[in-house]
A and B are shown apart, each in its own frame.
Chain A
């Protein structure tokens, strides 16, 4: 070997055409598939979490000896949205090959996703208040409630009651129910941002990018 490897390296890369980047033909298709896969993976994690909470709360209800109607309603609060989401995702699942390009594929997915979020936003106005009510019932029916009530009534004999429930408990619950009914849509959007914010931004970014490339 005559030249030092350092010289061969430097000299070799001085030539034009030594560093020609390959065309990135398939990159957008792969990125689109990758992104949608990530969103679907997040859906799955979300569903698993819902089923897990349903099972956990069912076990908790049995352990705490909640009334049967409450032990049924509490897990349903997680199971119903999980099944609803699963049906929506299954109905949508379309392979990319059905579309002529990744732009159409992403556009269609984005529209479907926006429609799903819109429907869920409407449902959120009912879902959150119901959840608050169910959680309050859970607290109300928790073991040791009688003893606490007795102590409360001993120290505050003139405590106002509504149907046997102290006003100090019923009032905050009522306020929370009202607030979640009014701001349910905002809470839902905030919820979605926490879980899917990053990937949804990437989806918008990728669609904008593909639009730019088409123009």
Chain B
């Protein structure tokens, strides 16, 4: 990766990458590993980028794919029992945002299943349903229903954290 490439093609989108990586990691060490892996993958695959979608959409998709893959790999390594959609991993959080409410929200997001996690992150980033569906490779009609369900679940988790 040229430093020019890093500064022009990655750094302006670092916010996206950080937001996604934080949702899949609970400590600073993992977060940095995920961030580096995403940057490396963007550099490796940027030649495959076609102008059919925005660069930012492509970065979202790639970041989510990398994080989901790393997350699965880690889960399989440490938790031999197959888990269902909900991934209750111990949240021994060692990195935080300056805003406490945001930290609580992230703690709740981390408890979601990996696909739900990705969908809600895209929703919170105000991506249109069509784009979320495109990134997730699913039908746009299902997205609205799914988001409603995830928000309900998030509220339940957040209420639990609060109490």
Contacts and interface: CB of A to CB of B under 8 A. Distances in A.
Interface stretch (A12-20, A70-78, A132-140, A143-151): A12-20
A152 to B, nearest CB: 51
B38 to A, nearest CB: 11
A154 interface: no
A1 B2 contact: no
Interface residues of B, number: 34
B43 A15 contact: no
Given A5-B154, A15-B97, A19-B15, A208 B2 contact: yes
A206 B6 contact: no
Q: Which 5 A-B pairs have the closest CB atoms?
A: A12-B102, A12-B99, A21-B14, A209-B2, A9-B124
A22 interface: yes
Contacts of B102: 8-9, 11-13, 18
B84 interface: no
Interface size class of A (residues with CB under 8 A): 20 to 34
Contacts of A3: 101
Interface of A: 1, 3, 5-6, 8-9, 11-13, 15-22, 24, 26-27, 30-31, 34, 198, 205-206, 208-209, 212-213
7 contacts: A5-B155, A9-B105, A19-B18, A24-B6, A31-B40, A205-B2, A208-B2
B148 interface: no
Interface in B23-42: 31-32, 35-36, 39-40
B101 A31 contact: no
B66 to A, nearest CB: 14
Contacts of A16: 98
Contacts of B43: 31
A120 B31 CA distance: 45
Given A1-B162, A5-B105, A5-B151, A18 B11 contact: no
B15 A31 contact: no
Given A11-B101, A18-B102, A20-B18, 8 more contacts: A5-B105, A8-B101, A9-B105, A19-B18, A21-B17, A24-B35, A31-B43, A34-B44
B97 A27 contact: no
A96 to B, nearest CB: 16
Nearest to B108: A5
Contacts of A21: 11, 14, 17-18, 35
B47 interface: yes
Contact of B40 (A1, A27, A212): A27
Contact of B1 (A11, A27, A198): A27
A53 B82 CA distance: 46
Contacts of B31: 22
A19 B154 CA distance: 22
Contacts of A15: 97-99
A206 B2 contact: yes
